[in-house]
Chains A and B, each alone.
Chain A
Amino acid sequence: MSEQTETTSSTAAQRPEVNTESSGGQFEGKTVLESRDLDVYYGETQALQDVSLQIPEKQVTAMIGPSGCGKSTFLRCLNRMNDLVDTAHIEGDVFFNGKNIYADDVESVALRRRIGMVFQHPNPFPKTIYDNVAYGLRVQNNEVTDDIIEDSLRRAALWDEVKDQLDTSALDLSGGQQQRLCIARAIAVDPDVILMDEPASALDPIATSKIEDLIEELAEEYTVVIVTHNMQQAARISDKTAVFLTGGELVEFDDTNKIFENPENQRVEDYITGKFG
C-alpha cells in the first residue's frame, strides 16, 4: 500500500498551489479546501451566512456548534452533496486545490471521487463486505484487486475482524464495524479529502473511541473534515476547530487548543463552557 500513498502525495505535490496562506495566514501547510462568502438557502430559509474558511492539508478540521447551526450543510457544500437537494440554493465559492468547484465545468460526480464522505448513520450497502469496499472502485471504473480491499480494511482497522467473512453480508456487522466499513469504503478509492458527518454519534463509547483513533491515523495521509456535536471529541482529535452558532454563522475558526482554552469570541466561550447550546 505504500505505493498508493506515494502516488497520492506526489500527485498532490505536483498540483499548482493557488492562494495558500493568503488570507488570515495563521496556518502552516497547504490549503486544500477554501470557502469564500458561502451562503446556502433551503427554499426561503438561510442555512449558512457568509462563511469563509480555509481547511489545511492532512489535518483534522472539526466543525462544532449547536443543532441547526449549519455545520452539516457546510460539510455537504464541500463535495456538492447539496446538489441532490432540489430546494438548496448556493451562493459564493468553494475552492478545492485552487479550483472553484461550483464552476460550470466541474462535474459533481468527478468531484466526489476526490472528496469522500462518511455519514452519521452507518450505511453499508446490502451487499457483501467485499463488494462494499469494491463499490467505489467499480463505479469509478478502477481495477478491483484483493490487495486494495485488504489494505483498505486494514487501514480502517477492520481487517482482523472480518478477514474470514468477506463474502457475508455487511449488514451482519455491528454498528461500529459497519461505520469502519464505511470508512474503508471511502478510502478504498484513495480520495484527497474525507468528510465525516457526525460519524460516531450513532455508536456506543467503545466503538466511538475506535473511530476516533482511526481518524487520527487517517489524518497522516488524508485531509479530514469532521462535523461533531460532541465538543470533547473535537478537542481530542482535531487540529483546527470551526465554531458555528445559530443562524449559520461561522463565529470563530482557529487552532483547536486556542478555541478550547482561550477563545476570542464571548459567545464561543459561553458555548464551550456549556452556558448554552
Chain B
Amino acid sequence: MAAETDPTFDGGSELRRRKLLGQVFEGVLVASTLVGVLALVALFVLIGNDALGPAEADASWFLLYFVTLVAPTSVYTLLVRRDEVASSINGLSFATVFGSLIGSAVVYVVVDSVRPHDVAIYLVVGSLFPALVLAYNRITGGSHYTGPALPVSILFGLVSARILYPFIIPVISIVADWILFVVVVTGPVAAGLGLFVTSRWSRRYGAVTAVAVLGATLATAGVAITQGIDPALSVVLVSVVAGPVAVVSLDTFKRRETGRYGLLGPWLLIGGIVAGAWLERQLGIEGLETWLTPTLLLNSWSSFRPEQAGIYPQLVGSVLVVGTMAVLSFPVGVGAAIYLEEYAPSTGWRGRLATALDVNISNLAGVPSVVYGLLGLALFQNFFGVAPWLPRALGLKPSLVIAAAATLGLLILPIVIVSSQEALRSVPDELRQGSYGLGASRWQTIRNVVLPEAVPGILTGMILALGRAIGETAPLVIIGVATTTYSAPEGVFGSAAALPLQIFASAANSIPEYRTGVVAAASVILLATMLIMNSTAILIRNRYENN
C-alpha cells in the first residue's frame, strides 16, 4: 500500500525531481524577464556616464550633494509616505511645479518660433467671434445654437485674422516682443486662473488673482528691462510658472488642515540642487565633467566646438514638427476610431468593409518607419514637386515642416486609431442604451456620454504616439530634413529640424567629444522628453482607473 511505502508524504525521488525541474524553469523565466531590464539599466549607465562624467568629480562633491539634496529629500520622502493627505498634496505640488515649468518651456519655444506677432493676431482676432458667441449664449441663458455656432465662429475668426493679417502686421510690428507675450500668454493664463479661483472661492478673489498675475508679470518685465535681461522669457516664467504654482499652493494651503508640508517636495529638490551648485562654486570643489549644461539646451549648434554646441534649434524643430503632426493627425485618428466603433455596422457589405479596414489598420502599425519615409517622400515632397501649381492654388508654400509632420502623422495614425478604439470600446454599452432611451440621437450620445468617458484613454494613446513620433529618425532623413541645423525654424513654413537627426549626424563627427559627450547628453534630453510624456500618459490613465 502507498501509505506503507510513503508514510512521510515527501513524495519520493520522482516528485523531488519534478519540483527541481519546476524551479529551473522558473529561474529561466526570471532570467528572461531580467534581460530587458538589465539592458535598459546598462543603457542608462553608459549614456549617463558619458553625459554627466561622474568619474571626474571629487569625493567631497558627492558628500556636498548628499547633504544638500539626498539627505533632505530622503527624510522628506519617508515622512510624506506615511501620511496619505501629505502624499496626495505632494503629488499635486510636483505636478504643478514641474508641469508648469515644462509648459512654460513649450509655450516660449512655440510662440518664439512661430513669431509672437503672428500668434497675437490669430489669437486676438480669432477669439473675437467665439467670445461673441459665448457672450450671446450667456446673455440669452443657453441658446440652442451654440453647438454648431462655436466651431463655425472659430473658423470665421481664423479666416478673418488671415485676411486682416497684412493690415495689422505693420501696426503691430512696432510693439515690442515682450508686450505681445503678455497679450498671448499672460492674458489667457490670468483669465484662466481668475476663473479657477472664482469657482473655488469667490468672484472677488478671482479678480484679485487675475490682476495680481498681470501686475507681477509687468513688474518682472520692468525689472528685467532695467537689468538688461530678455523680458519675454521672464514674462512667460512669471505667468506660466509662478502664477499657477502660487494659486495652487495657496488654494491647497487654505483648504487643507493637515499635511500641508506636502507642498515642500519640489522646493526641496530645486533648493537642494541650487544650494549644492552655489556651495560647489564657493568652496571650489571639483564637480562633474558634465555635458548636460544650460549651454547645450539654449545655444545654437556648432559643428567644431563641442563645448559651445547647443541643441536649441533642434528642440524647437522637434516640438514644431510633433506639434504640427498632432494637429494634422489626431483629429483624423480619433475620427476614424469613432467611425469604426460607433457608426460602422457589423453586417452587410459596409460591415465587411469596416472589418477589413479594422484588420488592416492594426497591420499598418507594424510597417517599418523607413517605409513610411518613402511614402512621405512620394506623397508630400515629390507630389508638390510634380504638381507645384496645387499648393500655390491653395495659397500654400511648400514646407518641409508640414511634409515631416504629415509623414510622422501617417506613422502614428494606426497607434492613435487603435488606442482610441480601445478607449471607446471600454465605455459600457449600458450608458449608450440609457442615452438612446432618453431620446438622444447617435451624435448626442457620442458627444455627451461616450466621448467624455473615453477621453482619458484617447489622451493616453495620443501622448504615447507623441513619444513615438518625437524619437523617429529614419522617415525624416528620407524625406530630406537636414540632419544638421544651425538656427531654429521660423514657423511651420520655415526649415525643419529634429533632435534625433542631430544625434544621428553627430555620432559620426570626427571630433571625439561629440561622439562621447554631446551625443550622450542630447540623448539624455531626448529620453527625458519621452519619459515625461510617458509618465504623463500613465498619470492620466491611473487617474482614470481610480475614478
* 11 sample A-B contacts, Cβ–Cβ < 8 Å, listed by A number: A81-B433, A81-B437, A84-B432, A109-B436, A109-B439, A110-B439, A119-B433, A135-B448, A136-B438, A139-B448, A140-B439
Stretch at the interface among B167-175, B343-351, B359-367: B343-351
Specify which chain A residues have a CB less than 8 angstroms from the CB of B449 in the assembled complex.
Answer: 125
Q: A86-B346, A135-B448 are in contact. Are A109 and B431 (CB under 8 A)?
A: no
A116 interface contact, C-beta 8 A: yes
A136 with B430: CB separation less than 8 A: no
Kindly list chain B residues whose C-beta atoms are within 8 Å of the C-beta of A186. Answer: 437-438
Give the residue of B347, B434, B547 whose beta carbon is less than 8 angstroms from that of A125. B434
Contacts of A124 in B (CB 8 A): 434
How far is the CB of A114 from the nearest CB of chain B, in Å? Answer: 8
Contact B345 A86 (CB under 8 A): yes
Assembly CA distance A135 to B433 (angstroms): 13
B439 touching A113 by the CB < 8 A rule? yes
Contact call B440/A119, Cβ cutoff below 8 A: no
Are the CB atoms of A86 and B351 closer together than 8 Å? Answer: yes
Does A182 lie at the interface of the complex (its beta carbon under 8 Å from any beta carbon of B)?
A: yes
A117 touches B (CB below 8 Å): yes
Q: Would A84 and B433 count as touching, CB distance under 8 A?
A: yes
Determine whether A5 belongs to the interface, using a CB cutoff of 8 Å to chain B: no
B399-440 vs A: 1/0 string, CB under 8 Å?
000000000000000000000000000001011111111111
In the complex, chain B residues whose CB is within 8 Å of the CB of A118: 437
CB <8 Å contact, B346 and A87:
yes
A139 touching B347, Cβ below 8 Å? no
Q: How many residues of B contact A (CB 8 A)?
A: 24
Complex interface: chain A residues within 8 A of B444 (CB): 139
A6 vs chain B, min Cβ distance (A) = 22
- The listed residue with most A CB atoms (<10 A of its CB), out of B430, B434, B436, B453, is B434
Complex CA distance for A224 and B153, rounded to whole angstroms? 45
Task: Assess whether B82 is interfacial by the CB under 8 Å rule.
Answer: no
Interface mask (B443-463 → A, CB under 8 Å = 1, otherwise 0): 010001100110000000000
Is A262's CB within 8 Å of the partner chain B? no
Residues of A within 8 A of B441 (CB): 109, 139
Find the residue from B347, B428, B453 having the highest chain A CB count within 10 A.
B347
CB contacts under 8 Å to A, within B362-394, are none
- Which residues of chain A in 119-160 are interfacial with respect to chain B, using CB atoms and an 8 Å cutoff? 119, 121, 123-126, 135-136, 138-141
| A135–B436 CA distance with the chains assembled, in angstroms | 11
* Total A-B Cβ pairs within 8 A: 74
Interchain CA distance A86-B453 in the complex, whole Å? 24
Structural contact, A109 and B440, CB atoms closer than 8 A: yes
If A86-B351, A87-B346, A141-B144 touch, whether A123 touches B433 (CB-CB below 8 Å) is yes
Residue from B347, B438, B448 having most chain A Cβ neighbours under 10 A: B438
Question: Cα distance A138–B448 when bound, in Å?
Answer: 10
Is A185 part of the binding interface, using a Cβ–Cβ cutoff of 8 Å? yes
Task: Report the separation of the CA atoms of residues A185 and B438 in the bound assembly, to the nearest whole angstrom.
Answer: 8
Write out the residue numbers on chain A whose beta carbons fall within 8 Å of the beta carbon of B433.
81, 84, 117, 119, 123
Q: What residues of chain B lie closer than 8 Å to A185, measured between beta carbons?
A: 434, 438
CB pair B439 A125 closer than 8 Å: no
Q: In the complex, what's the smallest C-beta–C-beta distance from B459 to chain A, in angstroms?
A: 16
Whether A117 and B437, one on each chain, are in contact in the complex, defined by CB atoms closer than 8 angstroms, is yes
In the complex, whether A112 has a CB less than 8 A from a CB of chain B is yes
* Closest CB pairs A-B (n = 3): A113-B439, A117-B437, A136-B438
A242: chain B residues at CB < 8 Å are: none
The residue in chain B whose Cβ has the minimal distance to the Cβ of A111 is B439
Rounded to whole Å, the gap between the CB of B144 and the closest CB of chain A is: 5
Cβ A123 vs Cβ B345 within 8 A: no
Tell me the minimal C-beta distance from B509 to chain A in angstroms. 55
B438-A86 in contact (CB<8A): no
| Interchain CA distance A158-B80 in the complex, whole Å | 42
Residues on B with beta carbons closer than 8 Å to the beta carbon of A119: 430, 433-434, 437
Residue of B nearest to A135 (CB): B438
Partner of A139, one of B428, B438, B453, B547: B438
Contact with B along A77-94 (1 / 0, CB 8 A): 001010010110000000
CB of A226 closer than 8 Å to a CB of B: no
- Report B451-509 residues with CB < 8 Å from chain A CB: 452-453
A218 touches B (CB below 8 Å):
no
Complex CA–CA separation, A116 to B434 (angstroms)? 10
From 99 to 115 in chain A, residues with beta carbon under 8 angstroms from any chain B beta carbon are: 109-110, 112-113
Bound Cα distance A118, B435 (Å):
11
Closest A residue, CB atoms, query B452: A126
For A123, give its contact among B144, B434, B440, B453 (CB under 8 Å): B434
A110–B444 Cα distance when bound, in Å, is 13
Contacts of A113 in B (CB 8 A): 438-439
Which of A81, A139, A141 counts the most chain B CB atoms within 10 A?
A: A139
- For residue A139, which residues in chain B have a CB less than 8 angstroms away from its CB? 435, 438-441, 444, 448
Give every chain B residue within 8 A of A121 (Cβ-Cβ): 430
Q: With contacts A113-B439, A123-B428, A186-B438 known, what are 14 further pairs, Cβ within 8 A? A: A86-B345, A86-B351, A109-B436, A112-B436, A117-B437, A118-B437, A121-B430, A125-B431, A135-B435, A135-B438, A135-B448, A139-B439, A141-B144, A186-B437
Instruction: Give A81 to B436 CA distance when docked, in angstroms.
Output: 8
The minimal Cβ–Cβ distance linking B62 to chain A, given in whole angstroms, is: 50
CB of B263 to closest CB in A, whole Å: 27
Residue of B nearest to A121 (CB): B430
Is A189 an interface residue, CB under 8 A from the partner? Answer: yes
